[in-house]
Amino acid sequence: MAILVVGSVAYDGIETPAGKVDRCLGGAATYFSLAASFFTEVRVIAVVGEDFSAADESVLTSRGIDTAGIEHAAGKSFFWRGKYENVNEAITLDTQLNVFAGFSPKLPEQYSDSEFLFLANIDPVLQAQVRAQMPKVKLVCGDTMNYWIQSQRGALENVLRGLDVLIINDGEAKMLADENNLVRAASKILELGPKTLIVKHGEFGATAFFGDGSFASSGARHGHISLPFRAPALPLAEVVDPTGAGDSFAGGFFGYLASQPELTPASFRNAMFYGGVLGSFAVERFGTERLQQLTREEIDARFNLFRQLTHLDAA
């Protein structure tokens, strides 16, 4: 089952306690596509500038990712610069939309049968334009960040209404809901439209909250809400570069889900574990380096570690 993804394909400048890189391949759609490509066919919609190198495009194509939907425009590629004082929070130092500022996404004819749509982090106006061109899609999942929550609130709420799954991090969830308690924030966000909400907690894993018509596994409830599901993250001795961990989580999660014959609560829970696995690999090297070298065997071996990490013998 093919996934169509729209989102940033970019160059990043990154500073972490482990070192500094002035410019490397990045972007939400880039990390997402690389992670999802281990599970299923991936097609990308984005725009890049004249500075985008053939070598960087081949990072995607060499993993079998279809880049026919990446438009090459006059001007410079999206550029983001950030630093980390702790591994769970990026501090944005610079965001240059460049060619994304005037972008109007057009779907190549051969993309129209994609059954899974991922609206990776980018202007929600662009996310909505792609969504509108995919009326028959089976499952729509989306991401966003503080930059868009603050600058494009109305457009973002429009996107949220059409989502099956929203994946955001702790801080973004609290900002979006204007609420400091995560459970209350989740309830408010589910009222905005997404059927399921996944909140990422950086090095501490991720939690899914379920609304009506969602992937909730049973009728179990805690208080007045459906019982959430929590997936772990692997405790790592060194995080070299957290950039892209969230997008890689989303790619592992959605890629696995799209590869399954049926969308069930059980496949949803496995998908959350695969998300954690891909996120844990992404942070081991700067930029997309680790994802470029990864193998499916390594992914499955780590998935088994994740299972053992949380296994409980029957009482």
The one segment of 55-63, 65-73, 238-246, 303-311 that binds ligand AMP by CB under 6 A: 238-246
Q: How far is the CB of 267 from ligand AMP (least distance, A)?
A: 23
DSSP line for 195-212: SEEEEE-GGG-EEEEE-T
Q: How far apart are CA 224 and CA 159, in angstroms?
A: 26
Q: Are 19 and 26 a contacting pair, CB within 8 Å?
A: no
Q: How far apart are CA 29 and CA 15, in angstroms?
A: 21
Residue 98 in contact with ligand AMP, rule: CB under 6 A: no
Q: How far apart are CA 58 and CA 40, in angstroms?
A: 18
Q: How far apart are CA 42 and CA 57, in angstroms?
A: 14
Site for ligand AMP in 75-94 (CB under 6 A): 80, 90
Longest dimension (CA), the chain: 64
Is the Cβ of residue 78 or residue 306 nearer to ligand AMP in the bound state? Answer: 78
Q: Are 157 and 188 a contacting pair, CB within 8 Å?
A: no
Q: How far is the CB of 155 from ligand AMP (least distance, A)?
A: 13
Residue 167, number of CB atoms within 10 A of its CB:
29
The one segment of 22-30, 204-212, 255-263, 299-307 that binds ligand AMP by CB under 6 A: 22-30
Is the Cβ of residue 67 or residue 187 nearer to ligand AMP in the bound state? Answer: 67
Q: Give 266's strand partners.
A: none
Which of 6, 8, 117, 177 is the binder for ligand AMP (CB under 6 A)?
8
Q: How far is the CB of 288 from ligand AMP (least distance, A)?
A: 9
The one segment of 5-13, 156-164, 188-196, 296-304 that binds ligand AMP by CB under 6 A: 5-13
* DSSP helix/strand/coil, 62: coil
Measured on CA atoms in the order 270, 142, 285, 16, is the torsion positive or negative?
negative
The one segment of 8-16, 159-167, 216-224, 263-271 that binds ligand AMP by CB under 6 A: 8-16
Site for ligand AMP in 136-165 (CB under 6 A): 145, 147
Is the Cβ of residue 10 or residue 173 nearer to ligand AMP in the bound state? Answer: 10
Q: How far is CA 13 from each of CA 20, 132, 147, rounded to the nearest angstrom?
A: 8, 33, 17
Q: What string marks each residue from 246 to 265 as x (binds ligand AMP by CB under 6 A) or -?
A: xx------------------
Is the Cβ of residue 115 or residue 284 nearer to ligand AMP in the bound state? Answer: 284
Is the Cβ of residue 92 or residue 110 nearer to ligand AMP in the bound state? Answer: 92
Q: How far is CA 208 from each of CA 65, 67, 72, 95, 232, rounded to the nearest angstrom?
A: 28, 31, 37, 29, 12
Q: How far is the CB of 16 from ligand AMP (least distance, A)?
A: 11
Q: Which residue is nearest to ligand AMP (CB)?
A: 26
Which residues of the shown chain bind ligand AMP in the complex (CB under 6 A)?
A: 8, 10, 12, 26-28, 31, 80, 90, 95, 121-122, 145, 147, 243-247
